[in-house]
Amino acid sequence: MIGVILYGAGLGMFGLLMRSNWSALEREVETLAGTLHDSLKPLLPAEARPSAQLAAVLPGLCLAGDPCPSPPSLISRHAVSVTDPERFYLRLLDPRGVLIAHSPGSPSQSPRAQAEHLGPAWSVVVGPGGERSMQYSIHLHRSHTPVHSGAKARELDWGYLQIGRSLRGLDAERQRLWWAIQTIVVLALLVAGLASWWLSGLAMRPLLVAYRQQEQFTADAAHELRAPLANLLGVVEAHRRQPPDDAVARDQMLAAVHRQGQRLSRLISDLLLLARLDGPQSAAAVQPCSLTQIARDLLEETSEAAAEAGLTLKLLDVEEEAEIMGVESELYRLVSNLLLNAIQYTPRGGEVVLRLGRERSQVVLQVQDTGIGIAPSDQQRIFDRFYRSDPGRSRRQGGTGLGLSIVAAIVHRHRGQISVASNHGFGSVFTVKLPMVGGRILEDLRVAGNT
């Protein structure tokens, strides 16, 4: 496309330049023809034929039929350049189009061609060597003043005056310009090609990254799904080799199948939730939600799990008016994932604290534990899908490796930020900041939902 545009623009420029050069030459020749015509008019002999009288009027021209001397002499002040044989030639013809006189070096034309060139004022004549000239033909008049003094001069048709101007310079210029345009277009195309190659590489980079992430995610998901399925099939296969009436083995098998089934179900529902979080949000689901209420509810719900794990669970610094616009089920999931992780990764005797505060127009939610902590190198990666610092421990405790990516996706959808600070071996603090209720936020969420 760039090539076509460049080429079109180049040809357009070329055409315009050539046209303006041509018009300038036409004007030059027309002016010369007019001046010559006016100078010759009173001097022309009565008869339009090669004669000594005519030779006297136009000493620089050769009469038809006579040998033509060279170099030419000047005929008048205005005709200096007209008789320049390199650029101009001059021809005089009688009313029938028969050549009477011509300047040395004017291209010889057949009588038929001469007659044809008389019709239109302008014509292009090609000389014997292929050199082109533009030729301008006008009627030549003789002014005849009657003998009685005071009478007006009469203009009589005398013949034709033809002025030719060599197009050698113009043709050379055209040739030069034509090649310059070809070279410029080819060079510009080359540069444009290289630039588009480079720019498309730049534009493709984020797409490639997203594509690789998607590929990695699919491979990880397949791997995660395969493990419980393989366990499940292994248990069933092993049970088929047992005696059919072994009730203990059957119960063990059913418990194992149930465990693996639950793991699969959790994994699939987490995958579905992530897929939903990646897609557009339904505007109808967005409503004012009290994070205070959500925190209290979840503290109550997880207190049993915390007690079982031998942990103290506390809610501190509660901001009573922590209300934000959002999707309630997603906000429940956000807080519960953080709380369950804190319980899961904190050894017996530890403490999990949930704080809910306010910072300007944001609600700040913090989940702090005195657990195993996260190594600095892992702190950026724990929000990646299926990333686990300790895969064995996570799987044993029923983790899918998707909990924190779900949390990050929910925070992102609610225009918030999440960060982690951890002292490896001593505990971690997850901090979530979410914008408080406001018309703009609601509007933003609606727009995000509609797109």
| Total number of residues that touch ligand ADP (CB under 6 A) | 22
Helix, strand or coil for residue 117?
helix
CA angle at residue 443 from 441 to 446, to 5 degrees? 110
Choices 63-71, 116-124, 193-201, 364-372 (CB under 6 A): range interacting with ligand ADP: 364-372
Residue that has been written with the tokens 């055209």 in this structure:
174
Number of other residues whose CB lies within 10 A of the CB of residue 419: 11
Residue that has been written with the tokens 């590929």 in this structure:
215
**Is residue 336 a contact residue for ligand ADP (CB under 6 A)?**
no
Least CB distance from residue 387 to ligand ADP, whole Å?
A: 6
Interface pick for ligand ADP out of 277, 291, 327, 382 (rule CB under 6 A): 382
Are 127 and 148 in contact by the 8 Å Cβ rule? The answer is: no
CA angle at residue 216 from 215 to 217, to 5 degrees? 90
Interface pick for ligand ADP out of 141, 388, 413, 433 (rule CB under 6 A): 388
Distance (Å, rounded) from C-alpha 106 to C-alpha 162? 10
Distance (Å, rounded) from C-alpha 35 to C-alpha 58? 15
**Is residue 390 a contact residue for ligand ADP (CB under 6 A)?**
yes
Choices 37-45, 151-159, 326-334, 400-408 (CB under 6 A): range interacting with ligand ADP: 400-408
- Whichever of 140 and 298 has its CB closer to ligand ADP, that residue is 298
Are 385 and 402 in contact by the 8 Å Cβ rule? The answer is: yes
Choices 47-55, 63-71, 233-241, 369-377 (CB under 6 A): range interacting with ligand ADP: 369-377
Interface pick for ligand ADP out of 54, 277, 345, 370 (rule CB under 6 A): 345
**Is residue 341 a contact residue for ligand ADP (CB under 6 A)?**
yes
Task: Report the chain's C-alpha Rg in angstroms.
Answer: 50
Are 122 and 26 in contact by the 8 Å Cβ rule? The answer is: yes
**Is residue 428 a contact residue for ligand ADP (CB under 6 A)?**
yes
- Whichever of 154 and 223 has its CB closer to ligand ADP, that residue is 223
- Whichever of 363 and 382 has its CB closer to ligand ADP, that residue is 382
**Is residue 352 a contact residue for ligand ADP (CB under 6 A)?**
no
**Is residue 298 a contact residue for ligand ADP (CB under 6 A)?**
no
Least CB distance from residue 428 to ligand ADP, whole Å?
A: 4
Largest Cα–Cα distance of the chain, in whole Å?
154
**Is residue 93 a contact residue for ligand ADP (CB under 6 A)?**
no
**Is residue 410 a contact residue for ligand ADP (CB under 6 A)?**
no
- Whichever of 190 and 316 has its CB closer to ligand ADP, that residue is 316
- Whichever of 137 and 368 has its CB closer to ligand ADP, that residue is 368
**Is residue 374 a contact residue for ligand ADP (CB under 6 A)?**
yes
Q: Which residue is nearest to ligand ADP (CB)?
A: 399
- Whichever of 166 and 405 has its CB closer to ligand ADP, that residue is 405
**Helix 403-413 vs helix 247-278: crossing angle, to nearest 10:** 30
Q: Where are the beta strands (DSSP E) in 216-375?
A: 287-290, 312-316, 323-326, 351-359, 362-369
Interface pick for ligand ADP out of 92, 295, 311, 342 (rule CB under 6 A): 342
**Is residue 366 a contact residue for ligand ADP (CB under 6 A)?**
no
Residue that has been written with the tokens 């203990």 in this structure:
248
Residue that has been written with the tokens 């419980």 in this structure:
228
Are 432 and 303 in contact by the 8 Å Cβ rule? The answer is: no
* Cβ within 8 Å of residue 302, ≥6 positions away: 313, 336, 339, 340, 343
Are 25 and 134 in contact by the 8 Å Cβ rule? The answer is: yes
- Whichever of 140 and 407 has its CB closer to ligand ADP, that residue is 407
**Is residue 228 a contact residue for ligand ADP (CB under 6 A)?**
no
| 99-102/88-93 β-pairing | antiparallel
Please give the backbone phi and psi of residue 140, each rounded to the nearest 5 degrees, phi first.
-105, 130
- Whichever of 20 and 423 has its CB closer to ligand ADP, that residue is 423
Least CB distance from residue 376 to ligand ADP, whole Å?
A: 12
Binding residues for ligand ADP, per CB under 6 A? 341-342, 345, 369, 371-374, 382, 387-390, 394, 399-405, 428
